[in-house]
Chain A
Amino acid sequence: MRFMFIVKSAHRGPPTPALMEAMHKLADREIKAGRMLDNGGLMPMATGAQVRITDGELSVVDGPFVEAKEVIGGYAIFELRDKEEALASAKQFMQLHKDLMPGWEGTCELRALASRAA
């Protein structure tokens, strides 16, 4: 099963160097173990835009989006056996934040990708 992990936080600014390093190590281990297929961090909101439909009208809003509370900071694609494995993996990832960036709050949302492959 493929899962997408999406990390969201209201915290602005980059991770601490210690967290950054630990995340790199974890990603390296997950790639070598054949579980992580792809991952990436997202640039600040100012680099993005939103294309919206409201009241049947299409509009473009350039970033940063002042009203946004939690912002997506990064994502990863995993190939895992089941949701339990995804949970174990996400917990480990979040534990790093807890240990290495005290005060940080946020969410790692994991979702199964609509399945086409084994």
Chain B
Amino acid sequence: MTAADTHGAILAVWRIEQPRLITSLARMLRDVPLAEDLTQEALLAALEHWPATGVPEQPGAWLMATAKRRALDHLRRAKMLERKHEMVARDMEQEQQAMPDLDSALDDDIGDELLRLVFTACHPRLSREARVALALRMICGLTTEEIARAFLLANATIAQRIVRAKRTLSESGLIYETPRGEELSQRLSSVLEVVYLIFNEGYTATRGEDWLRPQLCHEALRMGRVLTSIAPHEPEAHGLLALMELNASRTAARTDTAGEPILMLDQNRALWDQLHIRRGMLSLGRACELGGAGGFYALQAAIIACHAQATTADDTDWSRIARLYAELAAAAPSPVIELNRAVAVGMAEGPELALAIVDRLMNEPTLKGYHLLPSVRGDLLQKLGRFEEAQASFELAATLAGNKREHDLLSRRAADAGNAAR
């Protein structure tokens, strides 16, 4: 085994064992940021020892013993005044003497503790960037370097974000708390937002050179699955997982061999991943059973499900999609959702009605500079045979498009409309 192989093998074991380590330490120390520090020390110890000794037969037990030893040292060093802490330390020492075997390790139900961890990492008090970094590190077991690579940022930037975030948590006294009941649902939305952000960060970058980005989709999916297992009664957790699974099903069909994007309606549906679709539909079903059919994520998942279930693009149930968008727009009013609704209405009921919706959006300040607005409008005008207006609309869209490939596509459409006008 080369050094690089060993390093990779250690990190792989780490990702599997890390949640159990950090949750155990958090329970011991009643301090999530500190538990994170000390589990990282266990990783460093493994990286130091295992290349020489080889990965032990029970790597999880080794890491757990090492991490607990650090925690004990910490408790001792801190010379805890209260007897309570001495008792904790003595218990731990006894516990540690009986080395944890793999079997009892598997027995640990870490669900509640993991939930606490997730809520801490995604605390609304933290900036979005900080929440993303902490979640990837504390829940997915990614190293600082891996997070930095995934976001195309410097290691130091991510390291600093993590340090600062942990300091914020410590200083605000938010180191060990679990929201319950009403607050749980509220706080969960902050968690779901982070997971969805990570997914989208990976999903929008489909280019070959960004090969690490699909990794973000993968981590988000994993987190989504973890959330549905530790918060099984929260419909929106299932809704978000459904949305991610269903979107992930199209990954292989989204680009051609040259890396050019392929629009959903033009995709080869035989390339859509049926296992993802099946899992997505199951999660969506679960969200609905829990009374969450009208949730922000569940509605979006239901829209994507319409596509996933259509055998051909022509089979798409556009009326249902238009209805779902209307529901979504009512639940979370947004001009972008309204624009999407217009597209669906255009497909279901014809371009005239859709154009009326789009024209109402033309003065929307948040859509100023959003190239898809004139692009959709151009498409509708084209269908209505108003070619000159279509040309102007596509030209405007092309100038607003940030992406070169999109710019070229829109310019072509403008030229086509111009030709049709003559």
A positions within 8 Å CB-CB of B: 22, 25-26, 29, 31-35, 37-38, 77, 79, 81-82, 84-85, 87-89, 92, 95-96, 99-100, 115-118
**Chain B 44-85 interface 0/1 with A at a Cβ cutoff of 8 Å (1 = within):** 000000000000011110000000000000000000000000
B273 at the interface (CB under 8 A from A): yes
Residues on A with beta carbons closer than 8 Å to the beta carbon of B230? 32
Indicate if the CB atoms of A79 and B221 lie closer than 8 Å: yes
C-alpha spacing A79/B215, complex, angstroms:
11
Give the residues from 229 to 278 in chain B that come closer than 8 angstroms, CB to CB, to chain A.
Answer: 229-230, 248-249, 251-252, 271, 273, 275-276
Mark contacts of B76-113 with chain A using CB atoms, 8 A cut-off: 1 yes-contact digit, 0 otherwise.
00000000000000000000000000110011000100
Q: Of the candidates A38, A82, A85, A115, which one forms a contact with B16 in the assembled complex, judged by CB atoms under 8 Å apart? A: A85
Contacts A35-B222, A79-B218 given; does A87 touch B9 at CB 8 Å? yes
Q: Does the CB pair A34–B102 fall under 8 Å?
A: no
A99's contact among B12, B59, B102, B273, by CB below 8 Å, is which? B102
User: Does any Cβ of A come within 8 Å of B13's Cβ?
Assistant: yes
- Given the known interface contacts A95-B102, A117-B276, A118-B248, the answer about A33 and B214 at a Cβ–Cβ threshold of 8 Å is no
Question: Which one of A25, A33, A89, A100 contacts B107 once the chains associate, using CB atoms below 8 Å?
Answer: A25
Question: Does the CB pair A37–B12 fall under 8 Å?
Answer: no
- Which applies to chain A's interface (DSSP): helix, strand, loop or mixed? helix
| A-chain residues with CB within 8 Å of residue B8 when the two chains form the complex | 82, 84
Task: State whether B273 touches A34 (Cβ < 8 A).
Answer: no
Whether A32 touches B251, Cβ cut-off 8 Å, given contacts A81-B15, A88-B13, A118-B214, is no
For A115, the closest partner residue in chain B by CB is B252
Alpha-carbon gap, A30 to B226, bound state (A): 10
Which of A26, A29, A95 has its CB near the most chain B CB atoms (within 10 A)?
A29
The count of chain B contact residues (Cβ–Cβ below 8 Å) is: 40
Query: Considering only CB atoms, which chain A residue lies closest to B13 in the complex?
Result: A88
Do A29 and B15 form a contact, CB below 8 Å, given A79-B221, A118-B251?
no
Chain B residues near A35 (CB, 8 Å)? 222
Residue of B nearest to A118 (CB): B214
- Contacts A25-B107, A85-B15, A116-B252; is A34 near B275 (CB within 8 Å)? no
Q: Does the CB pair B57–A84 fall under 8 Å?
A: no
CB distance from A44 to the nearest CB of B (A): 27
Q: Determine whether the beta carbon of A118 is less than 8 Å from that of B218.
A: yes
CB-CB nearest in chain A for B14: A88
A84 to B13, CA, bound (A): 8
- Is B361 interfacial (CB-CB < 8 Å)? no
Chain A proximity mask over B177-208: 1 for CB below 8 Å, otherwise 0: 00000000000000000000000001000000
| A95–B58 touching, CB < 8 Å | yes
A118 CA to B12 CA in the complex, in Å? 18
Quick one: closest B residue to A23, CB to CB? Answer: B106
Chain B contact residues: helix, strand, loop or mixed: helix
Which residues in A have their C-beta under 8 angstroms from that of B16? 33, 85, 88-89, 92
Q: How far is the CA of A32 from the CA of B103 in the complex (A)?
A: 17
**Distance of A5 from chain B, by nearest CB (Å):** 14
- Interface assignment of B335: CB less than 8 Å from any CB of chain A: no
A25 to B102 CA separation, bound complex (whole angstroms): 11
Q: Smallest Cβ distance from A49 to chain B, in angstroms? A: 26
Residues of A within 8 Å of B221, CB to CB, are 34, 79
Kindly list chain A residues whose C-beta atoms are within 8 Å of the C-beta of B202.
118
Contact yes or no, B248 A117, CB < 8 A:
yes
Q: Which residues of B contact A81 (CB under 8 A)?
A: 12, 15, 215, 218
Q: Quote the shortest CB–CB distance from B244 to chain A (angstroms).
A: 11
Inter-chain contacts of B9 with A (CB < 8 A): 84, 87-88
What chain A residues lie within 8 Å of B102 (beta carbons)? 22, 92, 95-96, 99
Contacts of A116 in B (CB 8 A): 251-252, 271, 273
B396 at interface, CB cutoff 8 A: no
Complex CA distance for A26 and B5, rounded to whole angstroms:
25
Query: How far apart sit A26 and B106, CA to CA, in the bound complex (Å)?
Result: 7
Q: A116-B273, A117-B273, A118-B248 are in contact. Are A33 and B19 (CB under 8 A)?
A: yes
Tell me the bound Cα distance from A79 to B249 in angstroms.
Answer: 13
| Complex alpha-carbon distance, A84 and B16, angstroms | 11
Least CB separation from A113: chain B residue: B275
In the complex, which residues of chain B have a beta carbon less than 8 angstroms from the beta carbon of A89? 16
Q: How far is the CB of A108 from chain B (nearest CB, A)?
A: 15
Contact assessment for A31 and B229 in the assembled complex, using a CB-CB cutoff below 8 Å: yes
Residues of A within 8 A of B111 (CB): 32
- Other A-B contacts than A99-B102, A117-B273, 18 sampled, CB-CB below 8 A, are A25-B106, A31-B229, A32-B111, A32-B225, A33-B222, A34-B222, A35-B222, A81-B218, A84-B12, A85-B15, A88-B9, A88-B12, A88-B16, A88-B59, A89-B16, A95-B57, A117-B252, A118-B214
